[in-house]
Amino acid sequence: MDRIIIHWFRQDLRLTDNPSLYEAAKLGEVLPLYIFDNVNVDKNSIRGAARWWLHQQLNSLNHSLDGKLCILEGNALKLIPDLIANTGASGIFWNRCYEPWRISRDKILKENILPKNIEVKSFNGSLLWEPWEVLKKDGSPYKVFTPFYKRGCMCAVPPRSPISKPKSIKLYETKDYSRSLSSLSLLTNKQWESNLAKHWNVGESTAQKHLHTFINTELQDYKNNRDFPAVKSTSKLSVHLHWGSISPNMVWYETKKFQNIKNSNLSINKFLSQLAWREFSYSLLYYFPNLPNINLQTKFDNFPWRKDKNLLKSWQKGKTGYPIIDAGMRELWETGYMHNRVRMISGSFLVKNLLMDWRDGAAWFWDTLVDADLANNSASWQWIAGCGADAAPFFRIFNPTRQSQRFDPNWLYIKKWVPELSKLPTKYLHEPWLAPSDVLLNANVAIGRNYPHPIVDHVVTRKYALDCFKKIKNK
């Protein structure tokens, strides 16, 4: 009789290049399992836009498994032993996750909960390199990206090649145990979710098509165009990588196929380095599990962050009076995504002009991004705040007007997301508050009524932020 092996889906919601699933399928019947663990999770539970994406992704995965995905909700430490006892499963396989709460839970399950006669195996299905495979010569983790990538990643064993989807998977059906997807209540805001659905197609086949479209149409000019939010030039694969509808290994090797083709090497290298930034963030989270909550540079523990609910709300809703920031924050709310360059501009403005704690920004992104990823979100916010590893120096404060002029020179991004300014002469689109009253009247723009005054003065707040930084630096 075939063995029953549980494959526990987590952030690997795909069939292709899924090491755990592949190995389980070789041994017998596969019981495909997903647990919405709302017991062991810490405060970084799945929220907002990410819940919508997860619902769609699980629905797609279940369809790929002919409706045989076993869905459970609750404490994985209790549910898994019960499932093994009820089905007679002789093994459970999974691909590793790296959030601190998952590492702790999985270790308890493996060492203290599961019977000794149960075969337990874990695999790398989410990273190009495990965090412990990319270390300095003294065995310590890197804190600076460039040596992490060039002396660490590039000198390590190359990432494994992608694994094909199992030719056949004999699925063990668990109708008696599985809950319905709708019972997880992941969908809670119909209007918001309807907006998200207009901008995304979800699922494994969609992710693969998206990758190949990017490679064939946008990769060649990626290096030159990636910072311009109005240009279709970025991969938008972050959400697929987070949920595992595609593996980083597939992205890496499919991209490298285009080396020496169409003079695209510079763009390929730049894109691969962005994948390595993801690896760097995961390494930081693994070795510094307090990354989501604690400044890596402890001198920032004394920084005088401001608490102002009104300023924070203006930033969240895209009503700062700075068009490029408002465009980005509105894009985020409408689509669950924000262009990377605009993320940096908006993040810098929150931390260094509004003097708000980077954790306030990280919390809002956690709620509103479909690609909300604990490692990337935490590392990126600490980077922009100047308090993290290899951080942007605190004194590097993005000027939103100059950034707008440089990276949205044709005003396409601003006009799309801040349509109330679209009739302004281009001369004033980056700084509408400087437009004469008659120009504003003709464009139907009333500063302070249908578009806000700048909520702070960039020059004044920049100086104040630098003064605050000098004080903690001297201490």
> Would you give the distance in Å from CA 244 to the centre of its chain?
11
Mean pLDDT of 89-109: 97
* Residues 213, 78: Cα–Cα separation, whole Å: 43
DSSP designation for 121 = E
In this structure, how many other beta carbons lie within 10 angstroms of the beta carbon of residue 134?
24
Q: In this model, does residue 4 exceed pLDDT 90?
A: yes
8 A C-beta contact, residue 235 and residue 214: yes
Residues paired with residue 32 on neighbouring β-strands, in sequence order: 7
Closest C-alpha among 230, 229, 271 to residue 251: 271
Tokens (6 digits) for 345: 């501009």
Average pLDDT, the chain: 94
The DSSP secondary-structure symbol of 162 reads: P
Is residue 15 within 8 Å of 21, Cβ to Cβ?
yes
Percent of the chain with pLDDT over 90: 90
Give the closest residue to 21 by CA, choosing from 202, 185, 167: 167
- Looking at the predicted structure, is the pLDDT value of residue 475 above 90? no
Instruction: Please report the pLDDT score of residue 174 as a whole number.
Output: 87
Give residue 263's pLDDT: 64
The pLDDT value recorded for residue 374 is: 97
Task: For residue 202, give Cα distances in angstroms to 240, 263, 302.
Answer: 8, 32, 43
Residue pLDDT, tens place only, 383-437: 999 999 877 777 889 999 999 999 999 999 999 999 999 999 999 999 999 999 9
CA nearest to 56, candidates 243, 251, 335: 243
Per the CB < 8 A criterion, the answer to whether 211 and 235 are in contact is yes
Checking if the pLDDT of 2 tops 90, the result is no
Domains, in order of start, for the chain: 3-126 (3.40.50.620), 127-160+203-287 (1.25.40.80), 298-474 (1.10.579.10)
Residue labelled with tokens 């954790």: 359
Q: How far is CA 87 from CA 4, 84, 173, 180, 375, in A?
A: 8, 5, 10, 19, 35
Alpha-carbon distances of 450 from 59, 315, 446, rounded to whole Å: 41, 16, 6
Question: Closest Cα to residue 20, out of 98, 75, 116, 94?
Answer: 94
Supply 233's token pair: 């030039």
pLDDT digits (tens, 9 = 90+) for 276-295: 999 999 999 999 999 999 99
pLDDT at 261 over 80: no
Q: Say how far apart CA 35 and CA 72 lie, in whole Å.
A: 5
CB 90 within 8 A of CB 5: yes
How confident is the model at residue 227, as a pLDDT?
96
User: What spatial distance separates the first Cα and last Cα of the chain, rounded to whole Å?
Assistant: 70
Is pLDDT above 90 for 439? yes
The answer for residues whose C-beta is within 8 angstroms of residue 3's C-beta and 6 or more apart is 27, 28, 29, 89, 90, 91
* Residue pair 33/7 in contact by the 8 Å Cβ criterion: yes
With a cut of 80, say whether residue 25 has pLDDT above it: yes
The CA distance from 446 to 220, in Å, is 43
Is 1's pLDDT higher than 60?
no
Residue position matching structure tokens 């007679």: 88
Integer CA distances (angstroms), 288 to 8, 100, 339, 366, in order: 26, 9, 27, 19
Confidence band (pLDDT; 50, 70, 90) for 217?
A: very high
> Taking the model in full, what pTM does it have?
0.95
**Cα distances (Å, whole numbers) of residue 300 to 36, 386, 396, 460:** 36, 9, 16, 21
pLDDT of residue 258: 87
CB-CB contact of 388 with 379 (8 Å): yes
